[in-house]
Amino acid sequence: MDCAPFSVDFTGTAEDLLNKMQEAAKEQGFALTIEPDLIYVKMFGITMAKASYQVNAQQVTITITQNPPGYPCEKTQHIITKFITGGKTA
């Protein structure tokens, strides 16, 4: 089941954003695999969530398309948003 799309504003280029997200994820014990239009959030080598994304100017819109069973969409959204904003996920 897809989660509702959400949007986050960012500064810099789309490439800067994706690099920042990967670095923030790594710092917090996650790994991101980023492909054109897809993000995979991994922990311990296991894909925990999958999301599609679209960058439009200084805003990225993300739709979580795979979420762990029983795990609220809002929590996965919070984690991904923190990767974008550079905050801690805890």
- Both tokens of 42, joined, read 């991994």
pLDDT digits (tens, 9 = 90+) for 22-33: 999 999 999 999
Q: What is the CA radius of gyration of the chain?
A: 12
CB 59 within 8 A of CB 8: yes
Give yes or no for residue 2 having a pLDDT over 90: no
pLDDT digits (tens, 9 = 90+) for 31-74: 999 999 999 999 888 899 999 999 999 999 999 999 988 899 99
Is pTM beyond 0.95? Reply is no
CB 56 within 8 A of CB 67: no
Query: Domain 6-85 belongs to what architecture?
Result: 2-Layer Sandwich (3.30)
Task: Place 85 in a pLDDT band, splitting at 50, 70 and 90.
Answer: confident
At residue 86, the pLDDT reads 77
